[in-house]
Structure 1
Amino acid sequence: MKEQTLLIEIGTEELPSRFLHKISSCFFENVKKDLKYYNFSYKKIKYFFTPRRLALTILDIDTSDKTFNINKKGPSILDSYDKNGRPTNIANNWAKHCGININEASCLKNKKGEWLVFKKIQKREKIEILLPEIIETALKKISIPKSMRWEFTNQKFSRPIRNIVMLLDNQIIKGRVFNIRSNNLLQNHLCYREKRIKIDSAQEYPSILFKKNNIIANYETRKKNIIENINFIAKKINGFIKYRTELLEEITNLVESPIAYLASFEKIFLNIPKKILIYTIEKQQKCFPIYDIENNLLPYFIFICNINSKDSKNIILGYERVMYARLSDAAFFFHKDRTTKLENYLMSLRNVLFQDGLGSLYEKTIRIQLLVNWISKYSNFNQKDSNRAALLSKCDLVTNMVCEFPELQGTVGMYYALADKEKKDIAIALEEQYLPSFSNDKLPCTLIGCSLSIADKIDTLSGMFFIGNIPTSNKDPFGLKRLTIGIFRIITENNILLDLHDLIKKSISLYNKESIKYSTVYDSIINFFMVRLLYWYKEKKYNINIIKSVLSCQLTQLIDIEKRIQALSFFQKLNDSKSIILSIKRIAHILDKQTENISGDVNTKLIKQVEEIKLFDHIKKFDFITNNLFFEKKYQEILLQIKELEIPINNFFDNIKIYDSNLEIRKNRLILLNKLMKILSKITNFSYLY
């Protein structure tokens, strides 16, 4: 066995920070998959990435001569040969793709049928031959939006590739990747005169990068370095940093030689509302604001530079100038907007189109107001305050601040409402109307915010379906799938007794669309909701059969659906749940075979034998006990009561002949089983759980 260390480094132009994690992990997984395919064994793979490089070190890789199995399944035998036994075009094309004669294929038999298969034991080519192909294939398989093409080769990747290093211990693996010849010269930091760093052995990676030019190739090490440095600087001025994960990750992905610097801004800018100030520092300038012990912002910020310059004073001054310009803009827009009250912007919404075919933002505001008033009946929402919040909900969209900084919609409305002495809950609701804005985002904290968020989201959904902007499996430009999940989460986590049927009906009724059949739009929306509901519960790791069993009952009250799925998940985990489900299955199979009418009441005069009397009594008892439990939606308690039916059901089947020669007795026994099944079906469709 010949175990060596393999180094791969792909030198690129600046990779987009948003996708850097995805690019590196995909490259890692693709290479790992191909190494497994070619039966390369190794101890461990480490992966590294910076804005200008993707790298892998593969430890103790076995590069000795080996064989590997080729096993390619082809078309079915039925599709492979015609009635005269001659190979079809399908079979011949498959054989050609495999590089074999059709006679070299063998037959694979399994429960589903017979298939052509090509099996071969092949000697593995040397890693020197395979590696360039493995790397290029791994890079091409990475799916990234807005890829680039460059040079005469017209190759396609996220950013142009400029350098390839393939090193096996101290030996250069010669080859071309994206038409670039491999070498042992690592790509240097962008700001250094020397464009390459020579590496003599794969074991030197990544330490040689840090040793030469402070390049930290390991993401976690780079992030830790940034955290330690900004904490150290903040403590010097008796401050501390609040870490926003997204910002920290983005900055870590923007640099490869991080250096932290302290800078300041004028104290007058602290008068800008706190969230707007933080947004400007974090989102726009990619810097870290500093807080004091009382959680107030200090007139300082920390920025991360990608090079350790001797002229640090000028770098700091440059950042401070840019920060001054940005904060001046924010202060100017804020003071200009505050020359009038928030509610005075309402009429301006008439001039802003919500969506082509759906009217203006003013019309949307009126629909939201009507929806909020209607929703307030289903919970303890203050109708008057909810109505006021709805009226103000979109006013900030025409302010100078939001026109300049669109991401501050809602936040600006909140601050302006507070400045106008609106009630605190009303002001907070203006910001909360857009929550949750992404997966696992926080939910509105106020009841008014909940009602406003639901109303805003369902109005957008209904409108988009009216004009045909319906999401597909891979395209959702208006984020409607995200809006549905937001509605699900707000309703279920706040225990709001809203019915989707009523909510959708109410929403679409507010659109004046005479030429469109409302029932068709309703069906499309409710089907969309149900599909999203299935995927949502699936992502929450609930059993798919339980989800389908409940959704097949065509329920539309989300709280009811949630409680049933939770109860069935609990019940399924019980040791003895399988046996009672099998008993229910047996009853269902008997009833499914019946062609005669078995509805109606059980005739007690025809019940003679002990086992059927006991089953009848247990069914009556179960129906009585669970009557209130169904009303209170206590499905877990109902399912525990089902266990009491198992012995009577089993005794009934063991001792009673259902298909009695007396037709009246036979029908009566089927009616008895049907009565039981109707009660059980009030919980869920058990056929999915067999």
Structure 2
Amino acid sequence: MTTQNLLVELFVEELPPKVLQKLGEAFANVLAEQLQVQGLATAASVVTAYATPRRLAAHITAVAARAADRTVQQKLMPVAVGLDASGNASPALLKKLAALGADVSDAVALVAALQRAPDGKAEALFYNSVQPGASLQDGLQKALLEALAKLPIPKVMNYQLQSNCEQPGWSSVHFVRPAHGLVALHGATVVPVKALGLSASNQTQGHRFEATVSPVVLRDADSYAGQLANEGAVIASFTERRADIVRQLTAAAAQIGNGVRPIDDAALLDEVTALVERPNVLTCAFEKEFLGVPPECLILTMKANQKYFPLLDADGQLTHQFLVVSNITPDDASLVIGGNERVVRPRLADAKFFFDQDRKKTLHSRVEQLDKVVYHNKLGTQGERVKRVRAIAHAIAVPLFEALAERHQVDGTQDAEIVQDYLLTCVDNAALLAKTDLLTDMVGEFPELQGVMGGYYAVNDGLPDDVAFAIEDHYKPRFAGDTLPRQNVGMVVALADKLETLVGMFGIGNLPTGDRDPFALRRHALGVIRMLVEKDLPLDVTALLASAAPAFGDKIEDAPAALAALADFIYDRLAGSLREQGYSAQEVDAVLALRPQRLSLVQKQLAAVRAFAALPEAPALAAANKRVGNILKKAGAVDAHVNPDLLQEQAEQDLFAALQRFVPEANAQFAAGDYTASLQTLAVLRAPVDAFFDDVMVNAEQLDLRLNRQGLLTVLHNAMNRVADLSRLAA
């Protein structure tokens, strides 16, 4: 079967830049998959995706002009139904075969060609037929429509096609952007497929302004990228265009010298790559007086509004220069540079104006205005929210600072009390002011700067660094991989802020569903987990959640149920996070089944479980632990008490002696935090445990013997499951 390479391109108006790469990959991959399904391409075919602002394309190697014929076996009916006692075809069988396209004129020969095979308890008839392979035109038509239907389009447009002789009147098309051209080349031959009201040809368009010819007439499928580059002034590959931008950005920064480098922002780089067809990086500058504005403001307005690349000096400080990725390459770039500098200047001036105006009012003077800002119709205003955050922060701070003082062996001197009072004051002040920057002009213009601007304005108001840092950091971590609050004051306020959101939303039943999570509850839960784990905070999960509930008063109808659901939600998020870190589902399940309260110890518990699971005694002990759990579950509440005088069998006496000898050692290791050693110490119980189950009847008829043996198993169960529920390791 001869094959040639295939090129399919859809030429459209400017596509959404933030999803262009996904659109290009989806278009190419679905197209190739559908061709494989129809036998026109194979798994060995190489798929190359192309995506520019005005086109989606795919190049697929080794595509056949027609798929090979294939034999298809179809089940007909049971033999008892299809054949009579003489072995002749029944009317039902002949009707079925005729419906499948078989020639039923010679019924005897047709029946002889049928296959018999077991089908469950009965024997069935099967019909083998040859299905002609799909032609490339039919197969590509089907694959193209499927690829268009499966594009991850964020929002579909409706537009009308102009009437023509073949299609009088107007017809509507639904697609991400109006399409103007379709190319389908198998080698040098046009495949006559249609889509979106377009018929395939071998012609496409190059760059709007710099193409040397229009249209670009493609010689064959393999010349696509080269002809677009040479004749159309377009780099068709998203990956190659992105790499070219990186190269030009690096070269432009190096030309400036002094260690200057463009800001590292992969999302911005992807978006800019999706905005240009042939990039040309130019160096621009703005007045140095704007550097008096917080750099976050300048960087955000340059990146978000203009798609510029700010330049940082060797110390990481913002400079007054920036890089522009232009879509044109004029002989004299001064007009392009000057135009971009003129465009950015008013935006920077606005940022400076907002910053200057905001500093005329203190953060404290804005607190009362929060009572006029609605937070949620069931949870009240931002002012009410602030009161709850303050109450929760205080409930967290008191035990946390006391525990941290003990951890660092700070005695109860007057100086220690003064420090603690200062920290509590800072926590309360930061919680009071954390949301006030929402009322500033700068955050009104750039919501992404909430918290950041509050920190700057706190410094401007002369507040302590602990308060300013806490205001800036209380939203952290904002996303996966984000940094945590720098200091304990900020840690407390960040915890309080996230707990207020979590408890409040769970309290009113406003929970995430599927992909919808408008209040970012999953992110808040992961933020709480990260702070507890990475900062090794001595706070119990249950106590932490319970400390937040009183702040809501009567706004939460069933607080115990809400807190229980929230605890499940947090442990589910923790389980997912741990699995992403490489722990097995079995290991995670074993540890989290005990609902550990100190999340900072969970990884030590997981390491201990992994080490225990590698021991030769582990499978038997895990199975025995599961058996013990089932016995005790049926027995109900049993005291962990053993009367040695009632131990009649040698096996139960040996198990009791082993528990007396090794459990205290394991408990001491557990108390010292050496969970691995604790489990390994208990591994020696395998032999006496196996002997116990071989020789001892637990549920003896005599009540005192039965209760004593159940008590012995309770002692064993409690000792074995302090680190994790080892029964979860059983196969």
Instruction: Give me the TM-score of the superposition, normalised by structure 1.
Output: 0.87
Q: 1:140 aligns with which of 149, 159, 164?
A: 149
* Corresponding residue to 2:360 among 317, 339, 345: 339
- Per-residue deviation, residues 592-616 of structure 1 (Å, max 9, x unmatched): 6x65986553232343555433322
Instruction: State the one-letter code of the partner of 1:227.
Output: V
Q: Tell me what 1:577 maps to.
A: 618
* Structure 2 residue 376 is matched with structure 1 residue 355: yes
* Equivalent in the alignment of 1:222: 241
The answer to whether the 8 Å contact 2:276/2:326 transfers is yes
Name the counterpart of 1:686: 726
Q: Which residue of 1 aligns with 2:224?
A: 205
Question: 1:124 is aligned with what amino acid?
Answer: G
Matches within 5 A, 1:557-596: 557-573=598-614, 577-588=618-629
Residues 130-166 of structure 1 show CA distances to partners (whole Å, capped at 9, x for unaligned) of 0121121022122333222222554433323332211
Residue 22 of structure 1 aligns with which residue? 22
Say yes or no: does 1:246 pair with 2:267: yes
Distance, in Å, in 2 between the alignment partners of 1:677 and 1:106 is: 58
Match for residue 185 of structure 1? 203
Q: Which residue of 2 aligns with 1:56?
A: 58
Change in CA separation of 1:605 and 1:541 when aligned onto 2, cut-off 3 Å? same
Picking from 478, 491, 504, the partner of 2:545 is 504
Structure 1 contact 543–569 (Cα < 8 Å) conserved: no
State the partner residue of 1:234.
253
Whichever residue aligns with residue 626 of structure 1, its letter is: A
C-alpha spacing 1:536/1:289, structure 2 compared with 1 (3 Å): same
Note closer, same or farther for the CA distance 1:633–1:320 as it changes in structure 2 (3 Å cut). same
Aligned-pair CA distance for 1:555: 4.5
SS in 1 for 2:6: strand
Instruction: Give the counterpart letter for 1:191 in structure 2.
Output: F
Q: 1-side partners of 2:724 and 2:346: how far apart?
A: 62
Q: State the 1:303 CA deviation.
A: 0.5
Q: In structure 2, what is the Cα distance between the partners aligned to 1:235 and 1:667?
A: 81
How much does 1:247 deviate?
1.5
* Change beyond 3 A, Cα 1:618–1:162: farther
Aligned to 1:641: 681
Q: Counterpart amino acid of 1:681?
A: N
Pair 1:383–1:297, CA change in 2 (3 A): same
Check whether the contact 2:71–2:130 (CA below 8 A) recurs between aligned residues: yes
Residue 634 of structure 1, CA deviation = 3.8
Residue in structure 2 matched with residue 86 of structure 1 by the alignment: none
Indicate conservation of the 8 Å contact 1:189/1:195, yes or no: no
**Per the alignment, do residues 445 and 127 of structure 1 end up closer, same or farther by CA in structure 2, a change over 3 Å counting?**
farther
Residue 477 of structure 1 aligns to a residue in which SS? Answer: coil
What is the match of residue 166 of structure 2?
none
Query: Following TM superposition, by how much is the alpha carbon of 1:305 offset from its aligned partner in structure 2, in angstroms?
Result: 1.0
1:9 aligns with 2:6: no
The reply to whether residue 364 of structure 1 matches residue 385 of structure 2 is yes
Mapping of residues 141-540 of structure 1, within 5 Å = 141-151=150-160, 153-191=171-209, 196-238=215-257, 239-310=260-331, 312-376=333-397, 377-379=399-401, 380=404, 382-513=423-554, 516-540=557-581
CA distance in 1, matches of 2:236, 2:613: 48
The one-letter amino acid of 2:618's match is S
Between stretches 181-190 and 651-660, larger displacement belongs to: 651-660
Amino acid at match of 1:479: A
C-alpha distance 109-286 of structure 1, shift in aligned 2 (>3 A):
farther
Say whether the 8 Å CA contact 2:279–2:325 is kept in structure 1.
Answer: yes
Deviations along 1:262-304, one digit per CA (max 9) or x if unpaired, are 1111111111122222222222221111223333332211111
- What 5-or-longer segments of structure 1 have no aligned partner? 78-94
Secondary structure of 2:515's counterpart equals coil
Quote the Cα distance in structure 2 between the aligned partners of 1:453 and 1:100: 71
Distance 2:115 2:485 in 1: 62
Q: Distance in 2 between matches of 1:445 and 1:100?
A: 76
1:498/1:557 contact within 8 Å kept = yes
Residues 1:315 and 1:146: Cα distance change in structure 2 (over 3 Å): same
Task: Give the C-alpha shift of residue 202 in structure 1.
Answer: 0.8
**Stretch of structure 1 that moved more, 606-615 or 306-315:** 606-615
Q: Which has the larger radius of gyration?
A: 2
* Aligned residues of 2:262 and 2:312 also touching (Cα < 8 A): yes
**Superposed displacement of residue 443, structure 1:** 2.4
Alpha-carbon distance between aligned partners in 2 of 1:481 and 1:671, rounded to the nearest angstrom: 42
Structure 2 residue 58 is matched with structure 1 residue 37: no
Q: Aligned pair in 2 of structure 1 residues 285, 573: CA closer, same or farther (>3 Å)?
A: farther
- The answer as to whether partners of 2:116 and 2:123 remain within 8 angstroms in 1 is no
Amino acid at match of 1:266: E
Counterpart code for 1:207 = G
1:82 corresponding residue in structure 2 = none
SS across alignment from 1:511: helix
SS in 1 for 2:554: coil
Kindly tell me the number of residue pairs found equivalent between the two proteins: 666
Conserved? CA contact 1:140–1:157, under 8 Å:
no
Contact 1:429 1:452 in 2 (8 A): yes
CA 1:435–1:116: 2 relative to 1, 3 Å: farther
The whole-number CA distance in structure 1 between the counterparts of 2:71 and 2:290 is 68
Aligned-residue CA RMSD (Å): 3.6
**Percent identity of the aligned residues?**
30
Which whole-Å CA distance do the structure 2 matches of 1:528 and 1:597 have between them?
Answer: 29
